[in-house]
Amino acid sequence: MSNSYTEEDRKEIANIEYQDYTNSDARNHHNVTFGEKNTTLGTLDKVVNDEKTGLKMYVVKSDDQHYTVLYRGSEAPPKHGSWVDWVDNDIPMAQRIMSGQKGVTPQISQAADELQKLMKEHPDASFDVYGHSLGSMCAQYAAAKVTNPSRINGVYAYEGPNIYPTLTKDEKHNVLRLRGKIHNYVDPKDAVPLGYSSRLGMVGRMHKVNSKWASPIDQHMWGGYQWQDDGGLAETKPNLNEMKAAFSYYRSQHPKFSKSASGKLILDYVQAQYLSDALVADASSAETDIENLRNRELNDLEQQLSQAIATIKSNLYTLSSDEIDAVISAHGLTISKLKEKLQSTSQTAIDKASSISGDFEELRETINTGMNKAMETDSKLASGMDEFMDSYDLMMLMPPLN
pLDDT tens for the chain, residues 1 to 402: 346 899 999 999 999 999 999 999 999 999 999 999 999 999 999 999 999 999 999 999 999 899 999 999 999 999 999 999 999 999 999 999 999 999 999 999 999 999 999 999 999 999 999 999 999 999 999 999 998 999 999 999 999 999 999 999 999 999 998 998 999 999 999 999 999 988 989 999 999 999 999 999 999 999 999 999 899 999 999 988 989 999 999 999 889 888 988 889 889 989 998 999 999 888 888 888 888 888 888 888 888 888 888 888 888 878 888 888 888 888 887 888 877 888 888 888 888 888 888 888 888 889 888 888 888 788 888 888 888 888 888 887 765 544
264 inside domain: yes
Q: How far apart are CA 169 and CA 223, in angstroms?
A: 35
Task: Give the three-state DSSP class for 209.
Answer: strand
Last residue of a domain, which of 236, 265, 294? 236
Residues 352 and 206 in one domain: no
Residues 158 and 244 in one domain: no
Residue 196 region, left (φ>0) first, then alpha (ψ -120 to 50), else beta?
beta
Last residue of a domain, which of 218, 236, 254? 236
Per residue, the 3-state secondary structure of 95-150, as one string, reads HHHHHCCCCCCHHHHHHHHHHHHHHHHCCCCEEEEEEECHHHHHHHHHHHCCCCHH
Q: How far apart are CA 54 and CA 88, in angstroms?
A: 9
Q: How far apart are CA 30 and CA 336, in angstroms?
A: 43
Q: How far apart are CA 84 and CA 51, in angstroms?
A: 8
315 inside domain: yes
Integer-rounded Cα radius of gyration of the chain: 25
Q: How far apart are CA 212 and CA 218, in angstroms?
A: 11
Q: 386: domain range? A: 237-401
**Contact in structure between 294 and 346 (CB atoms under 8 Å):** yes
Residues 97 and 156 in one domain: yes
Q: For the domain that residue 160 is a member of, what is the CATH number?
A: 3.40.50
What is the count of structural domains for the chain? 2
Q: How far apart are CA 266 and CA 170, in angstroms?
A: 19
Tell the burial category of 357 from Cβ atoms under 10 Å away from its Cβ (0-12, 13-18, 19+).
buried
Rounded to 10°, the helix 379-397/335-377 angle is 110
Residues 231 and 250 in one domain: no
Give Cβ neighbours of residue 48 (< 8 Å, ≥ 6 apart): 55, 56, 57, 58, 59, 114
pLDDT digits (tens, 9 = 90+) for 282-335: 888 888 888 888 888 888 888 888 888 888 888 887 888 888 888 888 888 788
Which pLDDT value is given to residue 400? 52
Q: What is the pTM of this model?
A: 0.84
Q: How remote is the C-alpha of 375 from its chain's centroid?
A: 23
